[in-house]
Amino acid sequence: MSADFLYMIEVVINGLMAGVLYALVALGFVLIYKASGIFNYAQGVMALFGALTLVGIMEGQVPFAHIINATFGTDLHQFGWTVPALLAILLTVGVMILLAWMVHTFVFRHLVGQEPIILFMATIGLAYFLEGIGDLMWGSDIKTLDVGIPQGGSLWVENLSSGLGGEDFYGFFIDKLDITASVVAILLVAGLIAFAQYTKQGRAMRAVADDHQAALSVGISLNFIWVLVWSLAGMVALVAGIMWGAKSGVQFSLSLIALKALPVLMLGGFTSIPGAIVGGLIIGVGEKLFEYTIGPMIGGATENWFAYVLALLFLVFRPQGLFGERIIERV
């Protein structure tokens, strides 16, 4: 095989890996939108907040240290201990579940029956509130997140592929973190599908997604289901925050990963978990291939806009996405 063809295969593989990371963020949007009809603008900030909280717990950082020190004249920053990564992740999951309960109890429970634009505006307010709270709790400096995920090129993949193209080809460079993220995403999606199909709570969640009134009539608690859905979305956001934070550091620009999820949702559909995965893979591979083949002809930097152009085409010709439900309103 020629070296050029092998390089293209490497581009495709790296695109698939990037697409998995996009799909992780899109999953949280799908879970909340499917169950409650709310487009959660705060999903990216939830990933940031989860990653910030995880780093703070692991490092034994005192929450709201800046406010405490300014108010009482103290010099508190650390508790004096560190927390193992696995325990810190479990504690952060607990924080995300508590956050889900608070969001439903204090915000969205009071907005039941409101227009979708009102609910959307509420998620915008929630996003800025969480960003501010994250800053006050853990500080705004860039943090390193190390939960033991291996990083750097995979020598096994490089050695396995180096003999394919002769002496002009040195093997595929595949980041071990991307491989780990792909495996985690596959397990996460499989777990979500199994939960929705084979558990009582999962079936109740599907019933609420199909018809709120019918679910109420058979005794399903909408409050419980919505807290459950926000909790699951928070856990998915935490996983996405861990992967992106380990890759590029935990910083406030991490919340912008939600913008990459929008084209994924437009392609896959706002109500489909498999659609989020397929949409993420299409966007990831498409933008890498376009940059590799067309980018040099037009000056490069096509990854910044390719996904949005593709999403715009889908909005014109198939607005419900590949797996979304076509809704017809009769007037």
3-class DSSP assignment, residue 78 = strand
Instruction: Give the model's pLDDT for residue 154.
Output: 61
d(CA 84, CA 82): 7
Average pLDDT score over residue span 61-90: 86
More confident residue, 329 or 298: 298
Angle value at C-alpha 176, between 24 and 290, nearest 5 degrees: 65
Choice among 162-171, 215-224, 227-236 with the minimum mean pLDDT = 162-171
Is the pLDDT confidence value at 170 over 60?
no
pLDDT in tens, 301-310: 888 889 999 9
Q: Do 106 and 226 form a contact (C-beta atoms < 8 A)?
A: no
Task: Look at residue 175 and give its three-state secondary structure.
Answer: strand
User: What is the distance between the alpha carbons of residues 278 and 282, in angstroms, rounded to a whole number?
Assistant: 6
C-alpha to C-alpha distance for 41 and 30, rounded to whole angstroms:
12
Q: What is the mean pLDDT of residues 6-22?
A: 85
Q: What pLDDT, on the 0 to 100 scale, is given for residue 139? A: 86
pLDDT per position as a tens digit, 310-326: 999 988 888 888 886 66
Residue-level pLDDT at 161: 54
The percentage of the chain sitting over the pLDDT mark of 90, rounded to a whole number, equals 28
> What are the Cα distances from residue 159, in Å, to 53, 150, 162, 170, 174?
38, 18, 5, 8, 11
Closest listed residue to residue 142, CA positions, set 249, 247, 57? 249
pLDDT in the model for residue 319:
83
Beta carbons within 10 angstroms of residue 168's beta carbon: 9
CA 227 to chain centre: 18
Find the largest Cα–Cα distance for the chain: 69
Distance linking the first and last C-alpha atoms of the chain: 59
What is the distance between the alpha carbons of residues 198 and 205, in angstroms, rounded to a whole number? 11
Q: Tell me, what's the pLDDT at 50?
A: 94
What value does the mean pLDDT of the chain take?
85
Does position 160 have pLDDT exceeding 70, yes or no?
Answer: no
pLDDT, mean of residues 133-161:
77
Query: What is the distance, to the nearest Å, from the Cα of residue 313 to the centroid of all Cα atoms in its chain?
Result: 24
How much is the pTM? Answer: 0.87
Spatial neighbors of 188 by CB under 8 A, at least 6 apart, are: 24, 27, 236, 239
pLDDT at res. 80: 79
Domain boundary assignment for the chain? 3-317
Contacts with 221 (C-beta within 8 Å, 6 or more apart), sequence order: none
| Average pLDDT estimate for 12-29 | 87
Topology of domain 3-317 in CATH is ABC transporter involved in vitamin B12 uptake, BtuC (1.10.3470)
Question: Would you state the pLDDT for residue 155?
Answer: 55
pLDDT > 60? residue 159:
no
Show Cβ contacts of residue 329 under 8 Å, excluding neighbours closer than 6 positions.
none
- Residue 198 pLDDT grade (very low, low, confident, very high; cuts 50, 70, 90): confident
Residue 231 pLDDT more than 90? yes
Query: What contacts 293, CB < 8 A, 6 or more positions away?
Result: none
Asked if residue 122 has pLDDT above 90, the reply is: yes
Residue 256 reports pLDDT greater than 90: no
